Each structure stands twice: as C-alpha cells, then as structure tokens.
C-alpha cells in the first residue's frame, strides 16, 4: 500500500491565509503592521532569490517588508551596526540576516547581536535556550513547520518513537526539542551514530535532516511510519538539467511508510510560511499580546 503524500504546499497556503487574517485583525484592533527586515550581505544568487521571496511572502501576508542588500566586502562591524539599528527600530518586529554570510563575518557574532524578541529565524542562543526550557517563543522555521505537518497528519504524538537524523542548530536540535515537548520518545542521530538503519526501523516518526541525497532507504522504514524529509540536494543530471531530491529514497519509502513528505513540495513551503508566522508572533509578543494561535 502506498503512503499518503503530505501536501506541504497546500498546508503552507492555508497557514499563510490564516496569518494574513490574523495580521488584518492586529491592524484593525491595535494599529500594528508586522515589519520584517531581511539583510543580505554579498551577491549569492540563491540567497538573493530567497531574500526576494521572503519579502514577497511578507507583503502577501499584509506585513511591511524591508530588504537591505549590503556589498560583499561589508565589514562585520558594519553588519552588526545595521543589526543594532534594526533592533532599535520599533517598526521592525523581525530581523533576519540571510545565511551563509561571507567568510570574513562570523555567523555567531550576528546571532549574538540580534535582539531575541526580533529573532524570527529562532537561531539565537536565547531562542534555543527558551525552547530547551519549555518556554519557546520564536522557534526555527523548519522544525516549527514540521511539527505543524505532524500535528495535521498524526494528531497526538505522545509516546511515539521519533528519530531525528541530524543535530544542527537550524534543524536537528530544535526538531528534537519540539518532539520531546510533544511527548514523543526522541532519538537524535548524527554522523557518528552506529546502526542508523536499526534505529530507523523502530521509528514511528522519522525526520531526515542530514543533507545527503536519498540516503535513507526504503527498507529502513517501519511499516506505517510517518517520514518527514527535510533534506534538499540539487542533483546534476547533465546537459544543464538538475533535480531537487531529499534525504530519503522517496519511491521506495512511500511503499512502506504510512505518510511521507515529498521533495519538493513538503517541508520547504512550510519553512517559508513559518517565517511569516514568527514575524506575526514577534509583533504580537512585542506589543504584549499573546502569541497567535496560527
Ligand atoms: P547540517 O548543518 O550540514 O547538518 C547535517 C547533520 O546531519 C549533522 O548533524 C551531521 O552530523 C548529520 N549527518 C551527516 N551525515 C550523516 C550520516 N551519514 N549519518 C547520520 N547523520 C549524518 O545541515 P542542516 O542545515 O541541518 O540541513 C540538513 C538538510 O536539510 C540540508 O539538505 C538542507 O539543505 C536541508 N534544509 C532544508 C530546509 C527546507 O526548508 N526544506 C531547511 C533547512 C535545511 P554531525 O553533527 O555529526 O556532523
């Protein structure tokens, strides 16, 4: 029997619509328009596309979006000065510095400079600490989106055996914290893990976030499991053709799993929409309002 393919695009469109409704209510009731500032240092074409799409998503949700494009040779001190200016600007509720930054700028220095209340990427140590303390406010967008897909697909996951492959601060670690917070029994695997196939075969929920194309095989999947594929690798098919694939061998896994996210069209759209959710949440929290239900 073939797995249910989880439609991340539809879920993200639905989430964006709910965010836009909530933003309209916020404007009417409190005169607040969420403001997102995105800073890009350098000319990386992929980053430029991401920054533009984030601005467009924000405007579609009824937010103010400002994009700051700084030249490649901008010094770390200058980037930090930009971040501090945005920290002090009350019309900006969310600040995002697009990573990777050029090698002469320390990513950690930027994360340390962003005001935690405006950390819509959820990557500062303060956001990670609140999440680990069970007091999450702004959570990394990809794992946040994954939790929404899991909730929609499985409902209550208390007691489920969950395996997260990957332990980055962007995906693996916050993913494990969120699953633990939802009362799953969580195992975190990484490059030194022994017997990954054996761990995978026990998992009711498998989240693959290792960045290795089609690494997770069909016969690693527990029958009926929910498989979330975070990975994205662009394969070169030759003659100028490319293909985006995930960390899971989708064709084989879908024959065994109960539900599975495709790549593209699974986790990616939810990541984008969750940045909008966090911007709305940041604006509401900064105004002393409870975080939105969306
Ligand atoms: P990352 O920082 O490179 O982390 C990869 C993790 O996978 C590390 O913890 C690493 O272990 C682990 N790993 C590597 N090889 C492994 C192996 N053979 N067995 C088990 N674990 C292994 O990557 P990331 O930023 O978390 O991103 C992971 C993937 O998700 C990438 O493909 C990225 O493009 C994708 N991504 C997608 C979205 C989206 O919206 N769809 C968002 C974010 C990321 P060690 O810690 O031991 O090195």
pLDDT at 154: 98
Query: What is the distance between the alpha carbons of residues 114 and 134, in angstroms, rounded to a whole number?
Result: 21
The residues that are catalytic are 54, 98, 121
pLDDT band at residue 254 under the 50/70/90 scheme: very high
Is pLDDT above 80 for 1? no
pLDDT band at residue 183 under the 50/70/90 scheme: very high
Tokens of 187: 């195992």
CA of 190 to the centre of ligand 1 (A): 9
CA of 99 to the centre of ligand 1 (A): 15
Residues within a 6 A CB radius of ligand 1? 142, 165-168, 170-172, 189-193, 196, 209-212, 230-233, 267-268, 271
Query: What is the distance between the alpha carbons of residues 12 and 221, in angstroms, rounded to a whole number?
Result: 26
The DSSP annotation for 141-204 comes to: HHHHHHHHHHHHHHS--TT-EEEEE---TTTHHHHHHHHHHTT-EEEEE-TT-S-HHHHHHH-S
pLDDT digits (tens, 9 = 90+) for 155-167: 999 999 999 999 9
CA of 109 to the centre of ligand 1 (A): 22
Is the pLDDT higher at 1 or at 254?
A: 254
pLDDT digits (tens, 9 = 90+) for 106-143: 999 999 999 999 999 999 999 999 999 999 999 999 99
pLDDT at 293: 83
Closest ligand 1 atom to residue 165 Cα is: 21
Is pLDDT above 90 for 150? yes
Q: If DSSP codes are grouped into helix, strand and coil, which group holds residue 117? A: helix
**Please, is 212 exposed, middle or buried when counting C-beta atoms within 10 Å of its C-beta (0-12, 13-18, 19+)?**
middle
pLDDT at 294: 83
Percentage with pLDDT > 70 across the chain:
100
pLDDT digits (tens, 9 = 90+) for 186-243: 999 999 999 999 999 999 999 999 999 999 999 999 999 999 999 999 999 999 999 9
């Amino acid at each position: 029997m073939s797995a249910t393919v989880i439609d991340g695009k539809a879920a993200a469109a639905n989430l964006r619509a709910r965010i836009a409704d909530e933003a309209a209510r916020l404007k009417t009731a409190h005169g607040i328009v969420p403001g997102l500032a995105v800073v890009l240092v350098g000319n990386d074409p992929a980053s430029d596309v991401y920054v533009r799409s984030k601005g467009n998503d924000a405007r579609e949700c009824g937010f103010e979006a400002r994009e700051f494009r700084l030249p490649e040779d901008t010094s770390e001190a200058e980037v930090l000065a930009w971040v501090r200016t945005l920290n002090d600007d009350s019309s900006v509720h969310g600040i995002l510095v697009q990573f990777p930054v050029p090698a002469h700028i320390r990513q950690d220095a930027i994360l340390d400079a962003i005001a935690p209340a405006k950390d819509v990427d959820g990557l500062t140590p303060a956001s990670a600490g609140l999440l680990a303390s069970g007091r999450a406010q702004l959570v990394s967008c990809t794992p946040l989106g994954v939790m929404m897909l899991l909730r929609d697909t499985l409902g209550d996951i208390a007691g489920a055996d969950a395996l997260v492959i990957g332990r980055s601060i962007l995906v693996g670690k916050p993913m494990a914290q969120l699953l633990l917070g939802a009362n799953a029994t969580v195992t975190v695997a990484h490059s030194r893990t022994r017997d990954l196939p054996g761990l995978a075969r026990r998992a009711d929920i498998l989240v693959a976030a290792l960045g290795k194309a089609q690494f997770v095989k069909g016969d690693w999947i527990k029958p009926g499991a929910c498989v979330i594929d975070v990975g994205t690798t662009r394969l070169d098919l030759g003659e100028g053709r490319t293909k985006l694939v995930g960390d899971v061998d989708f064709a084989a896994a879908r024959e065994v799993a109960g539900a599975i996210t495709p790549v593209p069209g699974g986790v990616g759209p939810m990541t984008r929409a969750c940045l909008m959710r966090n911007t709305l949440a940041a604006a509401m929290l900064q105004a002393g309002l409870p975080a939105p239900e969306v």
